[in-house]
Amino acid sequence: MSQPLVLKNIEGPVAILRLNRPQVLNALNLALMDELVDQLKALQDDDSVRAIILTGNEKAFAAGADIDEMADVSLAEIKMKNQFLVWDIIPRFTKPLIAAVQGYALGGGCELAMSCDMIIASENAVFGQPEINLGVMPGAGGTQRLTKALGKARAMEYLLTGKPLPARVAYECGLVTKLVPDELVMQEALSLAHEIAQKSPVAVTLIKEAVYKALDTPTQVGMDFERNAFYMCFGTEDRVEGMKAFQEKRTPQFKGR
Ligand code: CAA
């Protein structure tokens, strides 16, 4: 039996998905991406899972789309295959998705990390969009998400030269949630995931959606969404439990209802 491309491990309410093509620095081929999306869909339906960590290994989160797989593909083939379609599903998952990044997160690897809700990175991690050096450009959100994080002038420099974006710079521009020493990346990601997993899943999902509205829509549209989402929380048992627990001075037990 072939080795799975994405390893899954469940720790209570937190699922860990590990990209597993170490021989090619976790280059993202079509099979891996299909498997990743299938695993995410299964975790979406698993009520016991409330947060997901996506990670690679010490050397690489992922060094980009698999260049060997793309090298001989024609324009017609790549257009008709529309291989990045599955990627669009990733930021639409309702559960929080945390990228735990060590080593390289380049090209599609950088785009995959950026499509997660948060990134915990090692101080030695290296981000970047080197596609320009292959005579192409990012195709899974690099020009959009990097520009939103860095601003036009700095994003242009990284996108047009393909030079590496050090983890420290990624942190300072708000692309990375937290920067930690190599050996603490997984511990930090787990601690964050477990903390969020204790909250009301409905409120977590609505907050996620509202934050993406802030990035993608005019302020008033986002404000309207936020207001209705706030009202929607009042239809949940978790809202009753949260407020009651406050009044009774105890820790709330959220059930996701
Ligand atoms: N695709 C396929 N294979 C890859 C790969 C990739 N993206 N990245 C690394 N590999 C392979 C290498 O070919 C090598 O295989 P062999 O041992 O069989 O030669 C193995 O992984 C180890 O890599 P290196 O020997 O190159 O390791 P290094 O430590 O010397 O260098 C690196 C590391 C700087 C990350 C270098 O591997 C590199 O530049 N990789 C390519 C990065 C890149 O250009 N990514 C963008 C891809 S295009 C894209 O992602 C499009 C998009 O928008 C989705």
pLDDT, tens only, 30-39: 999 999 999 9
- 62, pLDDT greater than 50: yes
Task: State the DSSP string of 171-203.
Answer: HHTTS-SEEE-GGGHHHHHHHHHHHHHTS-HHH
Q: Which residues does residue 6 pair with via DSSP β-bridges, in sequence order?
A: 19
Mind listing the pLDDT tens digit for each residue in 156-211? 999 999 999 999 999 999 999 999 999 999 999 999 999 999 999 999 999 999 99
Cβ–ligand 1 contact at 63 (below 6 Å): yes
d(CA 218, CA 176): 24
pTM of the model: 0.96
**Section 209-223 average pLDDT:** 96
- Residues near 248 by Cβ (< 8 Å), separated by ≥ 6? none
Percent of the chain with pLDDT over 70: 99
Could you confirm whether 195 is annotated as catalytic? no
SS3 label, residue 217: coil
pLDDT exceeds 60 at position 56: yes
pLDDT at position 4 over 90:
no
Specify the pLDDT at position 2: 58
Average pLDDT over residues 210-220: 96
Q: Which residues contact 132 (CB under 8 A, 6 or more apart)?
A: 159, 160, 161, 162
Q: Is 111 annotated in the active site?
A: yes
Pocket test residue of 5, 19, 20, 25 for ligand 1, highest count of atoms within 8 A of CB: 25
Predicted confidence (pLDDT) at residue 80 exceeds the cutoff of 50: yes
For position 239, what pLDDT does the model report? Answer: 97
* Catalytic (active site) residue 157: no
Residue 238 in this model has a pLDDT that exceeds 90: yes
Tokens linked to 223: 């404000």
β-pairing verdict for 97-101 and 51-55: parallel
Q: What is the mean pLDDT of the chain?
A: 96
As a whole number, mean pLDDT of residues 99-114 equals 98
Measured distance CA(67)–CA(131) in Å, rounded: 10
Catalytic residue among 27, 65, 125, 203: 65
Task: Name the active-site residue from 121, 125, 131, 197.
Answer: 131
Give the Cβ contact number of residue 88 at 10 Å: 12
Of 44, 47, 84, 38, the closest CA to residue 65 belongs to: 84
Query: How many whole angstroms separate alpha carbon 170 and alpha carbon 149?
Result: 8
Q: How far is CA 152 from CA 86, 159, 227, in A?
A: 27, 10, 31
Which residue among 21, 24, 88 has the greatest number of ligand 1 atoms within 8 angstroms of its CB, and so is best to mutate? Answer: 24
Query: Is 65 a known active-site residue?
Result: yes
pLDDT for 84 equals 87
The residue to which tokens 């959606």 are assigned: 209
Whether the pLDDT of residue 1 is over 70: the answer is no
The neighbouring-strand residues paired with 18 are 7, 55
